[in-house]
Amino acid sequence: MPNVPLFIKACLAEPVDRIPVWLMRQAGRYLPEYRKIREKHPFLHVCKTPGLATEVTLQPIERFGMDAAILFSDILLILEAMGVDLVFDEKVGPRLGRTGTVEEQVDSLSIPDPEQELGYVLDAIRQVKSSIQEGVALIGFSGAPFTLATYLIEGGTSRDFYATKCFMYQQPVIFQGLMEKLVSALEPFLKAQVRAGVDALQLFDTWAMILSPADYSEFVLPHMQRLVAGVKDEGVPTIHFSLGTSTLLEEMVQIGAHVLSLDWKIDIGEARSRLGPTRSVQGNLDPFTLFQEAEKLEKRVLENLDKGSPWPGYIFNLGHGVHPKTPVENVERLVEVVHNYPVRQTEQGSQG
Ligand code: CP3
């Protein structure tokens, strides 16, 4: 029986003797060793060079000893593989190119063969797996169809998502067709990541927060259900990430992912009571907590641990990515506090 990583046990709500921890964007600009690589290579070049992507993926594991690594890549790369121009502008962030109308673009999107068009992602997974420490899980990921659709329609990030919402309401059939097409591209990509070696899959739905429960149920939920059901047979846990969506928790449960990643706007104890003892959660410290002095940071981490861990199925994380200006020593302290936390979980979920 191979050793099941602690992180995977927590995803599956199995008992653990220590709370696993990793942080979104744990490989990034707050780390001097990452900045050193970025001085020499543009972001997309790092993503597309398996040796560099592997090195960067493992940097935070080597420095802090997290329980999971997330592959260094980006959710927007699949859109490039589908035929959309992608550039990362240092100042404005990602820009996606389009000629013609959204309808024409939806038509022209291709369904990539992951081994052919995203082979660099799969090669990076294989390389990470060959050098990662035993017991440390590797997380693969993709954007969720809705968040990818917003980037495609807006051409980048947006303040009010005017174009996305107008398109969704005015062209619902084409919008649903776009979501279906994205699912058809994402499913083989996620399966290929599992076959290349990832131990879990995280789906990033950063912009789901802009939808009402009714619109979420109509335009997003069925596609998420199809995607999660489609990758289920690969046998690895799935994690659903979103932000500002505590008003949608009950809808999000219906996606069928093993783990819900929560942001800091909901009390994690309340989220666990609402979701029940069998649904695993990940989160949910405010990334800016890491800018406080050590004692206050420690207090917040311990409060989160107390509230999140009355029963199995809890992964410590931030509610969103590590900010690029985060002091490195505070990340180190955070991981230490989580690792030293004594677990007092009960199987039934009574908080006693
Ligand atoms: O978490 C990790 O460490 C794994 C790698 C990862 C990145 N992006 C690397 C990255 C993951 C999982 C993502 C997901 C991603 N990318 C999301 C969903 C999660 C979220 O943050 O809400 C989104 C919306 C994107 C799109 C994206 N990529 C934007 C808007 C930007 C620019 C803003 C920014 O943070 O710089 C990126 C660039 C990006 N992706 C960087 C990294 C490390 C910064 C690149 C650099 O300057 O070195």
Closest atom of ligand 1 relative to the 90 alpha carbon: 47
Q: Whose CA is nearest to atom 11 of ligand 1?
A: 74
Give the number of the atom of ligand 1 that is nearest the alpha carbon of residue 156: 30
Work out the percent of the chain whose per-residue pLDDT is above 90: 92
Confidence band of 3 (pLDDT split at 50, 70, 90): confident
Of the two residues 192 and 344, the one the predictor is more confident about is: 192
| Whether residue 79 has pLDDT greater than 50 | yes
pLDDT at 248 over 50: yes
Give me the DSSP letters along 50-91. Answer: HHHHHHHHHHHHHHH--SEEE-S--TTHHHHHTT--EEEETT
Structure tokens at 329: 């020593």
Q: Is the pLDDT of residue 256 over 70?
A: yes
Residue 174 pLDDT level (bands cut at 50, 70, 90): very high
Relative orientation angle of helices 50-64 and 328-339, to the nearest 10 degrees: 60
Q: Give SS3 for 316.
A: strand
- Residue-level pLDDT at 349: 46
Nearest protein Cα to ligand 1, atom 1: 25
Residue nearest to atom 20 of ligand 1 (CA): 206
The rounded distance, in Å, linking the Cα atoms of 192 and 190 is 5
Contact status, residue 186 vs residue 125, Cβ threshold 8 Å: no
Ligand 1 centroid to 74 CA: how many Å? 6
Atom of ligand 1 nearest to the CA of 57: 3
The closest-lying atom of ligand 1 relative to the alpha carbon of residue 204 is 18
**Beta partners for 31?**
none
Q: What pLDDT is stored for residue 345 in this prediction?
A: 72
Res. 351: pLDDT tops 60:
no
Q: Which two tokens stand for residue 282?
A: 């990940």
Which residues are known to be catalytic?
A: 25, 29, 38, 74, 151
pLDDT of amino acid 84: 96
Q: Is 47 helix (H, G, I), strand (E, B) or coil?
A: helix
For 4-26, write each residue's pLDDT tens digit. Answer: 999 999 999 999 999 999 999 99
Q: Of the residues 74, 121, 164, 242, which should be mutated to test ligand 1's pocket, given the most ligand atoms within 8 Å of the CB?
A: 74
347 pLDDT band (50/70/90 cuts)? low
Q: How far apart are CA 244 and CA 252, in angstroms?
A: 12
Residues within 6 Å of ligand 1 by CB: 24-29, 38, 43, 70, 72-76, 88, 93-94, 141, 157, 204, 206, 321
Give distance in angstroms: CA of 198 to centre of ligand 1. 19
